[in-house]
Chain A
């Protein structure tokens, strides 16, 4: 699909996830991202695993890293550096932060998987020529990383290392980065050899908008309007500390419901319309 309608259904939710605080709205917007990823073409698993892992880690770490909140749930033994007093507010904040992180990662994933990489590359090359390499790398980032990571893990296991799954251990992360850098250099060289940067670019005329693109554009505009309304009215405002406020406000419920409905609509458009 062309990047514009996909951007309209993914970027405003991303902004909502970054800006708002209300956990209810964060959850609804995260659900929108999940729905979009669910109807995106594979591979989805590595992206989803990354998002979930990051979210769970943030949720688990926050209560021990933060020392705020008044509603104590559990008091652990005293350990230097760690805050072992777990409060309801810390858990709620961790939940919000986890949703924020997972939702953002999934919104980014939905954009990468749904927007035609070649159209993204062409658009970036026109608007910001020096960033085209980054766009080209971004569209293939995770699949390439996954292939390199599984190759490194396999090589380590072939030499007796006891590693589980296809994820690299900490020792393999450096080589993984090195391989990515080598890949980006090869790509940059190939782009230059194929005339990139030789002067004014032209552009292959875009095909006509499809029914799906038009419908997704409409849904995207509606999502943008909801996001704008959230920012303008403060529907996503919320305070976690010192005492967690009630997240169920009229404005938050309305905005959350709109996000859920529009998320379902966007997923339906992607799934059912040709």
Chain B
């Protein structure tokens, strides 16, 4: 039978006590676009790996039940042979590129399949063209942006004649521009070429309404599978944070309608005119004044000035290369500016984009203590502060575990805890929501606000506009190495041209609570 079928599939990774897949029954018809949603660690990635045979052939472990791809039992056929039928695009764009240059990626797969040599170059170029990446053919993969790398990875899969495209959170590390383009490409491939698409994704706003069906996973099982409308009804009561933000707003407002796109939401609501005065702020004791930074021929910062208020969460937004991370590093005192002044860098903490870089010790508790050891804080004081930080971040039960055995969300919390234990006055979080599901983002937003409530100036460098709208009290927009504006979220993210949240587009509101209030207040107005 053509298509992808799971029959009572269960799976455990080697040495794991709990199943990663449990009683999975699913059939994907050829040409379908299926969206798989669920919290981190619910089994989405394992489901996709099972579809390609990487589970169990590459990862080992115990597989029960049966997975068939175009009639082939994945237990009997190696993943390398299944590659003709289904291609998997992984979460990390850089880690999945095997070769040095972009053109060599599709060539690699074609050579592996024994494609006739004289046809390889044409097929590889055509695959790059299909994904809008032909201009990248001669470029080195390491020099490409994350979005470009994902395009090349998809081209490499398509070149092999794959009829099923499996994507594992392909936009988790991309900025909004690249993510939008990539998801648009995936929809086009499905609509125009009839490629079957199974996509696991946290950013549901773009695809929820476009999918043929939505699979909701929960604790290694399929909790629900159906049309987007049916799935939305299920999620409205079971896990509303997995819905697109506009639908979440209607659920929060207690309204019965469940729009899944901005267009549908606008038809059901009276859009507000966004407002929000520019903040009146005293001179902040923390921040940078007139800083510039040059890397070779590239100007990362040009006379940038920004202040970060204690007790405030500030979102630092801007396109890739705008200078956000450089500003964060300089404000934290981890990088010297070429020119300009830094205020309060001596008491700043910085959490980079990769939590793995903060995992260097053998125990979670020791990891949190690392900064205290550097500051020569010993004895009872050390133990007390470590315990307090573990408790605050919900890591107390994991104190004896090895940091690398933690889940991605736990790793992220540990990385932040290992910095906040220093009690910094300024805390910079660089892209903290990468790969996070909606529930974890809500928790992170809460955490940022609670740290701010204790008097910390929290700066969140992010591409995640919806998160910034929810978590931040101030939005600093950057472009071309300069600070372009400082506004409140309602003004910045609801009025913005590109950095605009889905709630902003639909209702002119920045937060879920505002949108829900507005929807409650205007219930019936549209119909009337």
Contact = CB atoms under 8 A, between A and B. Distances in A.
A158 B111 contact: no
Interface in B66-100: 78-81, 83-84, 87-88, 90, 92, 95-100
Given A139-B100, A140-B142, A174-B360, A193 B352 contact: no
Contacts, number: 166
A228 interface: no
Interface stretch (A29-37, A44-52, A113-121): A113-121
Max chain B Cβ within 10 angstroms of own Cβ: one of A116, A154, A156:
A154
Max chain B Cβ within 10 angstroms of own Cβ: one of A161, A182, A190, A205:
A190
Given A154-B357, A159-B422, A194-B156, A189 B54 contact: yes
Nearest to A178: B404
Contacts of B332: 158
Given A194-B160, A204-B107, A179 B356 contact: yes
Given A155-B358, A179-B356, A204 B374 contact: no
Contacts of A139: 100
Contacts of A187: 95-96, 98
Interface stretch (A10-18, A195-203, A240-248): A195-203
Interface of A: 116-118, 121-122, 125, 136, 139-140, 143, 148, 151-152, 154-162, 171-172, 174-175, 178-179, 182-183, 186-205
A178 B124 CA distance: 34
B90 A198 contact: no
Contacts of B375: 160
Max chain A Cβ within 10 angstroms of own Cβ: one of B99, B349, B351, B360:
B360
B352 A201 contact: no
Interface of B: 52, 54, 57-58, 78-81, 83-84, 87-88, 90, 92, 95-101, 104, 107-118, 120-121, 124, 142, 156-157, 160, 329, 332, 334, 349-352, 354, 356-360, 370-371, 374-375, 404, 415, 418-419, 422
Given A160-B371, A187-B98, A201-B112, A194 B118 contact: no
A192 B57 CA distance: 10
Given A186-B90, A194-B160, A121 B98 contact: yes
Given A152-B360, A154-B352, A158-B334, A191 B98 contact: yes
A186 B92 contact: yes
Contact of A186 (B87, B96, B118, B156): B96
B111 A190 contact: no
Contact of B99 (A117, A193, A199, A202): A117
A203 B110 CA distance: 9
Contacts of B114: 198-202
A155 B121 contact: no
Nearest to A126: B111
B75 to A, nearest CB: 16
Given A121-B99, A189-B58, A203-B111, 17 more contacts: A118-B101, A118-B108, A121-B108, A125-B111, A139-B100, A154-B329, A162-B374, A172-B360, A183-B95, A190-B90, A193-B87, A193-B96, A194-B160, A195-B84, A195-B112, A197-B112, A204-B120
A121 B99 CA distance: 8
Contacts of A193: 52, 54, 79, 83, 87-88, 90, 96
B365 to A, nearest CB: 15
A160 B334 contact: no
Contacts of A160: 371, 374-375, 422
Contacts of A174: 360
A198 B81 contact: yes
A117 B419 CA distance: 39
Max chain A Cβ within 10 angstroms of own Cβ: one of B83, B160, B351, B418:
B83
Contacts of A125: 111
B112 A196 contact: yes
Contacts of A156: 360, 370
B83 A175 contact: no
A178 B100 CA distance: 23
Given A118-B101, A159-B374, A202 B116 contact: yes
B100 A202 contact: no
Given A122-B111, A195-B83, A204-B111, A158 B95 contact: no
A158 B359 CA distance: 13
Contacts of A143: 142
22 contacts: A117-B99, A151-B354, A155-B352, A158-B332, A161-B374, A175-B356, A178-B404, A186-B90, A189-B90, A191-B98, A192-B80, A193-B87, A193-B88, A193-B96, A194-B112, A194-B160, A195-B109, A196-B98, A199-B81, A201-B114, A202-B114, A204-B107
B78 A204 contact: no
A141 to B, nearest CB: 12
Contacts of A151: 352, 354, 357
Nearest to A158: B350
Nearest to A204: B120
Contacts of B160: 194-195
A143 B79 CA distance: 30
